[in-house]
Structure 1
Amino acid sequence: MEEEEDITSDLFTAVGEQIKVLRIRAGLTQREFGRLVGYTESQISSIERGVRVPQPDFLEKADKILNAGGLLLVVKKSIEKAQAKARVRHPGWFRGYAMLEAMAVQLYVYTNQLIPGLLQTEDYARAVFTQRRPLLSDEVIEKRVADRLARQQIFEPWPSPTFSFVLDESVLLRPVGGAAVHKEQLRKLLRVGRMRTVELQVMPLTREEQPSMDGPFTLVTPKGRRQVAYLEHQGYPRLITEEEEVRLLDIRYGIIRAQALTPRDTLALIEKMLGDA
């Protein structure tokens, strides 16, 4: 498995380097190229460094814009095969859940500790893994960051799953990685929160009632399967498949959503935080 992960990672890196060479040859900055293909500057940077997996439609657009002559189309099939493997490029204890998440048609996430992995920026994710104890090596940190960003491509297909995220307000106030990283993370929450398939809500600190003091949890419904729940505390994961336990967590999540700010009010709160930052 580790050998396959290295080969897959090397493929993404090689393709990213090819795209960078072609972009520079075309006289385009990352920002200019991003505008032409509908990506942000940071997304282009991630692709060129092999951190983000280039999607087939991106490769098709890039091949034309960069006058690659079919060079990027040749690797499209290899990327599609490698992308499936990338979904399980995670620590062994997390792979089972990662596979279910990749099959999700519905995903509900509640957290009161950190920004959920699916919503993290690259720098925020790197700060999280850098602060992990015991310390991780630089190589492991970069692999974990790449794997986390690869998971975020779940937002890109259409139709995509239906997403609901409820974040405790304390999570938005914690400047993980420093002020600049924190500000960019808030901007990303705004971008994702405005997606049609996403409902992003904040549980205000002023709420006197809080039905989930026990910690974060995720409810995921894989295609063609029953809903399951995932918990992780101090690095110890638990995948819950027992129907009654999942039902109780689903009820709890419904109460949390009802007590949280509406998606519109949540976006307004984040915009205010950005203004104050």
Structure 2
Amino acid sequence: MPKSKEPPTSLLIFGKQSRYLREKRDLTRRELSALIPYSESFIAMVERGERPPKPGYVDAVDAVLGADGLLCVLAPDVSEKHHPAWAEEYVHLQAQALALHVYSTHFLHGQLQTKECAQAVFRSVRPSMTEEEIEQSVQARLATQKLLTRTPACRMTFVLEESTLLRKIGGRDVWEGELRNLLKISQLHNVQLQIMPLSRETHAGVDGPMTLLETPDHHTVGYVSGQQGSYFLTEPDDISVLSHRYGTLRAQALDAEASRAFIQRLLTGES
């Protein structure tokens, strides 16, 4: 995943403003730490733009420093802008999507991951990420999951390779927690979740994972990710191919009811 070494501008702005407000009240970082449930080192990293502030941190600092909502207003921007630069456009489109259709092959899509699963996924990245980078990436991923329960609802379908459910990334406890999360998500009225069994003898997804996203103006955009980056597909001919391919994948996969039953059997050890 390409990374920028320079902190995002939004984080730098938030950090400078919060530092200005702290110093205006003649508080040291240690003194501020005594007033809120966050460490002095965490405060320092936020003020330098090195860490995105958590929602609880923003609320606490805004209140203690008497910012009168100034920092809270910036919270949505800093929570969105710490994604890797190459993903910014996709994150923006996904947040506004009318519909999202995903085919996953190696691990579960970010919309479906628990916090513990996301941590395990980012710890698997090579070259290795630092703990700070992992925490930033996890918080960014969890923030996108608002899409699952957004109003108005986003229509969402997922086709998951069976192997994504069999791989116990993070260990058994994390794996079982993820299976329970999938069962919970599968009950949402706007979500259809299907499993592609390993026993399939014909398979339309041999070219790898893909995402189809419907924008607010009813255009469909394709999104394909790879080892060193990702790219969009917008040409009608390309979208037609991906749409046909995805429709075939859904027809080849287990239906939603059978998929829930499959996940339940995995969880109870019956399969």
Partner of 1:230: 223
> Which amino acid is 2:94 matched to?
E
Aligned residue type for 1:151 = T
Question: Which of 5, 14, 30 is the aligned partner of 2:11?
Answer: 5
Q: Is the 8 A contact 1:8 1:86 kept in 2?
A: no
Counterpart code for 2:251: A
Aligned 8 A contact 1:87 1:102 in 2: no
In structure 2, distance between residues paired with 1:193 and 1:18: 38
Kindly provide the CA deviation profile for residues 193-235 of structure 1, in whole angstroms up to 9, marking residues without a partner as x: 1100100000111111100111111001111141001111113
* Length, aligned pairs only: 228
Cα root mean square deviation, aligned: 2.8
- Match in the other structure for 1:264: 257
Give matches, 1:34-49, under 5 Å. Answer: none
Equivalence for 2:238? 245
**How far off its partner does 1:96 sit?**
1.2
Once the two structures are superposed, what CA deviation does each residue of 1:90-135 show, in whole Å capped at 9, x if it has no partner?
1011111111111101000001110101111111111111111111
Asked whether the equivalents of residues 53 and 79 of structure 2 are also in contact (C-alpha less than 8 Å), the reply is no
Letter in 2 for 1:185: E
Partners of 1:218 and 1:229 within 8 A in 2: yes
Superposed, 1:27-176 pairs within 5 Å as 53=55, 79=72, 81-176=74-169
Counterpart AA for 1:250 = S
Select which of 213, 218, 221 maps to 2:211.
218
The Cα of 1:80 is off from its aligned counterpart by: 5.7
Q: Which runs of 5+ in 1 are unaligned?
A: 21-48, 60-69
- Of structures 1 and 2, the larger Rg is shown by 2
1:146 aligned counterpart, secondary structure: helix
1:174/1:80 CA distance change after superposition, 3 Å: farther
In structure 2, the gaps of 5 or more residues are 1-6, 19-31, 39-51
Give TM-score scaled by structure 1 length: 0.74
CA-to-aligned-CA distance 1:45-93 (integer Å, 9 cap, x gap): xxxx965x57xxxx9xxxxxxxxxx99xx97785464224423321011
Q: Is the 8 A contact 1:123 1:181 kept in 2?
A: yes
TM-score (norm: length of structure 2): 0.76
Q: Which runs of 4+ in 1 moved over 3 A?
A: 6-11, 17-20, 74-81
The AA in structure 2 aligned to 1:109 is V
The residue type equivalent to 1:249 in the other structure is L
Q: Which deviates the most, 190-199 or 238-247?
A: 238-247
Match in the other structure for 2:22: none
| Residue aligned with 1:132, SS | coil
Helix, strand or coil at the partner of 2:83:
coil
Give the distance between the partners of 1:83 and 1:239, measured in 2 at CA: 25
The alpha-carbon distance between structure 1 residues 6 and 91, as it changes in their structure 2 partners (threshold 3 A), is same
- Cα 1:8/1:182, change in 2 over 3 Å: farther
SS at match of 1:185: helix
> Can you list the C-alpha shifts for 1:225-267, whole angstroms capped at 9, x where unaligned?
4100111111321111112101110110000001111111111
Counterparts in 2 of 1:181 and 1:244: CA distance versus 1, 3 Å:
same
Question: What's the CA shift for 1:268?
Answer: 0.9
SS at 2:98 equivalent: strand
Which secondary structure state, in structure 2, belongs to the residue aligned with residue 83 of structure 1? helix
Letter in 2 for 1:246: I
| Corresponding residue number in structure 2 for 1:67 | none
| Contact 1:118 1:152 (8 Å CA) reproduced | yes
- Which range is displaced more, 169-178 or 2-11? 2-11
Percent identical:
33
Task: Please give the alpha-carbon distance, in whole angstroms, between the structure 2 residues aligned to 1:101 and 1:121.
Answer: 19
Distance 1:19 1:266, change over 3 A: farther
